[in-house]
Structure 1
Amino acid sequence: MERLVAAVLAAGVLQVLLATADDHYLLSRIAFGSCANQSAPQPIWDAINKFDPQVFIWLGDNIYGDIRRPFNFLGKERTIGPWKNAPRFIPSSSSEMLSRYNSAKNVPGYLRLLAKAKVVGTWDDHDYGLNDAGKELSAKTTNQRLLLDFLDEPQDSPRRKQAGVYTSYTFGPPGKQVKVWLLHAFQLLRFFYQLIEVKTLKIILLDTRYHRDPLSSDGSVLGDSQWSWLGKELRGPPSAITIIGSSIQVISNLSGTTGPLFYMESWGRFPKERDRLFKLITDSKRGGVFFISGDVHFGEITRYDCAAGYPLYDITSSGLTQAVEKVLPSPLRFIVRFLAWFTPSTMRVKNQNCRYRSCTYGEPNFGAIQIDWHASPVNLKIQVRDINGLPVTGVDISLSELQAWNRTIKAGQDQRHCTLEVKLPWIVRYRLAILVYSVLALLLLALVGLICAVILTCRVCLRKRKTD
């Protein structure tokens, strides 16, 4: 009887709230991006401003604060190759970092965005202070202050007192957030619960640098204090949607298929930590979770179906200025696209929304999230967009798909997005390396053949001269 009375009362309260909710508080348009070189032209802000986001999320490499040294194969200081004896990147001074932040903050397009949108963010390695750096960086405390100044973080913010820049934000009509707690306290039917929380959104920004152990260690990415904080965030007041921002990719482990040619940073390089992250999400019983990430200088969407009871998506947008295809002249960029297509990826989402067959995009891009709160169920349109604001890949997701109670993955069922890259048969996993080494071997054989042909030709010519 108590439950029935509570349900009737809650339904009445719900009706009043839904009638009086102010859509002004609803967060329905979010943009995000990473990898913006302050010294490069940044025309992409025009497209971002045209998208008109309410919130923009920096996902790291907001500036390039370290110093990149030239490629040197030979000489006293060799910065590349198996005989490398000097670092390719070195830290810059705090005054130089500040100067670069000032340059980034005064880009006209970015200033227009600042005037109309809330800007939040975290960092990656180049704005942390040094390429691929972790907890060993001595300047991290100073560089944390510089980042928070760039983000206009209030002087009394907890982020200025803690070790690391991790934080969270909750958006939604204030009244509705209170009602979530009320109905949860009565332990009513999930139907009411979902209706009440339908317009709340949580953004969690991780710090994958300040506490990170060395890449080869399979140690910690977040550190004990941040793990404790993240657990409280995920187990805390519920929200319809939870976006977790990580500077490095969470789902994709590109290094699993590109090694030994080259390696990329990702959570996949720390498999125990990634499993811990997935377990934390699962144990929290929080629905509507997905990731956004940067770092890799291309855009893609990946998903993992066998972690939380529903698909976990990772939307990667990188970069605003830095992009893999820019390293080659336009006529040769098809090579990058072919290699992206040829590299196996069990996690990449491939659909009709992709501009290229690989479903990756290697030119400047940004991420765009649109939420239709008035749809039933709530609908999310998540895209990676090009410099003109046109989508290059994307997914449309119903919020009901991102709920463990609406489980679409059955125990023991083989799912397309469940095979980790490191579990692929070796002939598939290393096919890119096999291709590259085979081409190099053929080129070497061709070169040796050419040299032999030249030598033989010279010998024949010398013999003819002697006989003459």
Structure 2
Amino acid sequence: MERLVAAVLAAGVLQVLLATADDHYLLSRIAFGSCANQSAPQPIWDAINKFDPQVFIWLGDNIYGDIRRPFIFLGKERTIGPWQNAPRFIPSSSSEMLSRYNSAKNVPGYLRLRAKAKVVGTWDDHDYGLNDAGKEFSAKSTNQRLLLDFLDEPQDSPRRKQAGVYTSYTFGPPGKQVKIILLDTRYHRDPLSSDGSVLGDSQWSWLGKELRGPPSAITIIGSSIQVISNLSGTTGPLFYMESWGRFPKERDRLFKLINDSKRDGVFFISGDVHFGEITRYDCAAGYPLYDITSSGLTQAVEKVLPSPLRFIVRFLAWFTPSTMRVKNQNCRYRSCTYGEPNFGAIQINWDASPVNLKIQVRDINGLPVTGVDISLSELQAWNRTIKAGQDQRHCTLEVKLPWIVRYRLAILVYSVLALLLLALVGLICAVTLACRVCLKKCKTD
């Protein structure tokens, strides 16, 4: 217990020192992650601590604060199926949220990280308080305070007075500055089917000022949901995932703001989806925009199946069309996605000429599963390397694919289900025929 107390005190002192030294703090190692269930084992902190980041960025679902009810097909309260009449997720009380935050904050590996790194972050839906919730959620102001307490946000911070948890940080001396912009994709977000606003007017105004403000060598925009990828465009109508692609007008507005600001060195980091991947869009700004997704620290899509069957998840990930995903020799699997626990790692080599960024998604042992090496000169509009007609793979949105390609996952699944149904009908017919033959024979005998 004494060691835990000492670690917490050291973390508090370090946070104060780093907060006052941001302007001169040369930042070269950043880790980030999302989706950490406070009730699950969290061995991945060992790999993150071994990476030794100077800054760690939470990208949401820092705890799972809402209550997930079981699948109920029949009865008075049905939580799944076309006849669903009760919500699958319900919010928990503020006292229960606080208890879960306290559990997460006292994980030994996370305590060690807090003692040596600056921890910043935003939220997603489960730590916001309710799965897939937006501006309509009534407990958002109370839960904002709980999140900021978890992040050790100073009591006089502007984040405690504004509507939403968006914020920014700037590290490093002039010429080598890294700006981290953290968005709030929950507090002001309109319903998913509305194609309305993601950020809300006040946050859009703030973001415009941040991007048009003093230049920085690198600008990292953290979004709890994916910015570049729009897998819902190819997984529907089977299932849909949250992303900026569900709000095409807002995503176009974001891309236009980056382009109009003439800010170089911008890329995104994101979470939410329970797998890691890197995506890229070449036709939004004067240079390629990358989105590095790391999800999750404990939650992972492959965990839904036993180990011998996880190849099915990997096959489906490979089979699902994704025009934005970066596929190269650095990928562990052919799909260039990783559905087991992971974290994001950014290394900046300021001594290289030009400056080099190594951005990776790493596994529970700290080994890379996918990654890109980017020269900072590639993220400058004046040195644009993408020409008209080139690399169209990263310029065609998922929703613009030919329908037979776009919906091939649904076609595959429905075809398999149809074959299984036919096989079942055939089996029933065969059994029925066999029974009739047996009965006829018995009567004859």
TM bracket (short chain): over 0.9
- The 1:463/1:214 distance shift into structure 2, 3 A limit, reads same
Give the whole-Å Cα distance in 2 for the aligned partners of 1:108 and 1:8: 11
CA deviation digits over 1:370-425, x for unaligned, max 9?
00001000000000000000000000000000011001223465622000000000
- Contact 1:65/1:127 (8 A) holds in 2: yes
Decide which moves more: 72-81 or 406-415.
406-415
**Alignment partner, residue 283 of structure 2:** 306
- The 1:18/1:365 distance shift into structure 2, 3 A limit, reads closer
- Contact 2:23/2:171 (8 A) holds in 1: no
Q: Structure 1 residue 332: deviation in Å? A: 0.3
Give the whole-Å Cα distance in 2 for the aligned partners of 1:254 and 1:18: 38
- The 1:400/1:82 distance shift into structure 2, 3 A limit, reads same
- The 1:10/1:404 distance shift into structure 2, 3 A limit, reads farther
Q: Structure 1 residue 100: deviation in Å? A: 0.1
Decide which moves more: 210-219 or 67-76.
67-76
- SS of the residue corresponding to residue 388 of structure 2 reads coil
- The 1:210/1:231 distance shift into structure 2, 3 A limit, reads same
**Alignment partner, residue 439 of structure 2:** 462
Decide which moves more: 162-171 or 413-422.
413-422
**Alignment partner, residue 28 of structure 1:** 28
CA deviation digits over 1:271-305, x for unaligned, max 9?
00000000000000000000000000000000000
- The 1:430/1:278 distance shift into structure 2, 3 A limit, reads same
CA deviation digits over 1:124-144, x for unaligned, max 9?
000000000000000000000
**Alignment partner, residue 66 of structure 1:** 66
- Contact 2:28/2:54 (8 A) holds in 1: yes
CA deviation digits over 1:246-281, x for unaligned, max 9?
000000001000000000000000000000000000
- The 1:144/1:364 distance shift into structure 2, 3 A limit, reads same
- Contact 2:31/2:55 (8 A) holds in 1: yes
- The 1:176/1:41 distance shift into structure 2, 3 A limit, reads closer
Which structure 2 segments of 5+ residues have no match?
A: none
- Contact 2:36/2:64 (8 A) holds in 1: yes
- The 1:250/1:175 distance shift into structure 2, 3 A limit, reads closer
Q: Structure 1 residue 16: deviation in Å? A: 30
TM-score (norm 1): 0.90
- SS of the residue corresponding to residue 169 of structure 2 reads strand
Give the whole-Å Cα distance in 2 for the aligned partners of 1:10 and 1:149: 17
Give the whole-Å Cα distance in 2 for the aligned partners of 1:303 and 1:176: 24
Give the whole-Å Cα distance in 2 for the aligned partners of 1:445 and 1:12: 64
- Contact 1:21/1:173 (8 A) holds in 2: no
Q: Structure 1 residue 173: deviation in Å? A: 1.9
Give the whole-Å Cα distance in 1 for the aligned partners of 2:20 and 2:241: 49
Decide which moves more: 206-215 or 405-414.
405-414
- Contact 2:278/2:325 (8 A) holds in 1: yes
Asked if residue 339 in structure 1 is aligned to residue 316 in structure 2, the reply is yes
- The 1:147/1:19 distance shift into structure 2, 3 A limit, reads closer
Q: Structure 1 residue 6: deviation in Å? A: 52
- SS of the residue corresponding to residue 175 of structure 2 reads helix
- Contact 1:80/1:88 (8 A) holds in 2: yes
Q: Structure 1 residue 25: deviation in Å? A: 2.1
- SS of the residue corresponding to residue 176 of structure 1 reads coil
- SS of the residue corresponding to residue 110 of structure 2 reads helix
Matches within 5 A, 1:432-447: 432-447=409-424
- Contact 2:224/2:271 (8 A) holds in 1: yes
Give the whole-Å Cα distance in 2 for the aligned partners of 1:42 and 1:11: 19
Two-structure CA RMSD over aligned residues (Å): 9.1
Give the whole-Å Cα distance in 2 for the aligned partners of 1:11 and 1:97: 22
Q: Structure 1 residue 11: deviation in Å? A: 40
Decide which moves more: 237-246 or 78-87.
78-87
- Contact 1:17/1:175 (8 A) holds in 2: no
Give the whole-Å Cα distance in 2 for the aligned partners of 1:38 and 1:13: 25
Give the whole-Å Cα distance in 2 for the aligned partners of 1:8 and 1:44: 20
Q: Structure 1 residue 3: deviation in Å? A: 59
Give the whole-Å Cα distance in 2 for the aligned partners of 1:244 and 1:112: 26
Q: Structure 1 residue 81: deviation in Å? A: 1.1
- The 1:81/1:15 distance shift into structure 2, 3 A limit, reads closer
Q: Structure 1 residue 75: deviation in Å? A: 1.5
- The 1:305/1:3 distance shift into structure 2, 3 A limit, reads farther
Structure with max Cα Rg: 1
Alignment partner of 1:358 out of 332, 335, 342: 335
Give the whole-Å Cα distance in 2 for the aligned partners of 1:5 and 1:323: 31
Aligned-residue sequence identity (percent) comes to 97
Give the whole-Å Cα distance in 2 for the aligned partners of 1:364 and 1:217: 32
Give the whole-Å Cα distance in 1 for the aligned partners of 2:183 and 2:422: 49
- The 1:436/1:367 distance shift into structure 2, 3 A limit, reads same
Give the whole-Å Cα distance in 1 for the aligned partners of 2:14 and 2:99: 52
Give the whole-Å Cα distance in 2 for the aligned partners of 1:156 and 1:415: 48
- The 1:143/1:280 distance shift into structure 2, 3 A limit, reads same
Asked if residue 149 in structure 1 is aligned to residue 126 in structure 2, the reply is no
- The 1:233/1:15 distance shift into structure 2, 3 A limit, reads closer
CA deviation digits over 1:433-452, x for unaligned, max 9?
00000000000000000000
- The 1:16/1:449 distance shift into structure 2, 3 A limit, reads closer
- Contact 2:10/2:115 (8 A) holds in 1: no
Asked if residue 415 in structure 1 is aligned to residue 392 in structure 2, the reply is yes
CA deviation digits over 1:12-41, x for unaligned, max 9?
999999999999721000000000000000
Which structure 1 segments of 5+ residues have no match?
A: 178-200
Give the whole-Å Cα distance in 2 for the aligned partners of 1:363 and 1:325: 6
Q: Structure 1 residue 233: deviation in Å? A: 0.1
**Alignment partner, residue 237 of structure 1:** 214
Q: Structure 1 residue 231: deviation in Å? A: 0.1
- Contact 2:22/2:172 (8 A) holds in 1: no
Give the whole-Å Cα distance in 2 for the aligned partners of 1:341 and 1:351: 13
- The 1:4/1:341 distance shift into structure 2, 3 A limit, reads closer
Q: Structure 1 residue 176: deviation in Å? A: 7.1
- SS of the residue corresponding to residue 84 of structure 1 reads coil
- The 1:442/1:233 distance shift into structure 2, 3 A limit, reads same
- The 1:377/1:23 distance shift into structure 2, 3 A limit, reads farther
- The 1:17/1:334 distance shift into structure 2, 3 A limit, reads closer
- The 1:4/1:287 distance shift into structure 2, 3 A limit, reads farther
Asked if residue 424 in structure 1 is aligned to residue 407 in structure 2, the reply is no
Give the whole-Å Cα distance in 2 for the aligned partners of 1:335 and 1:300: 18
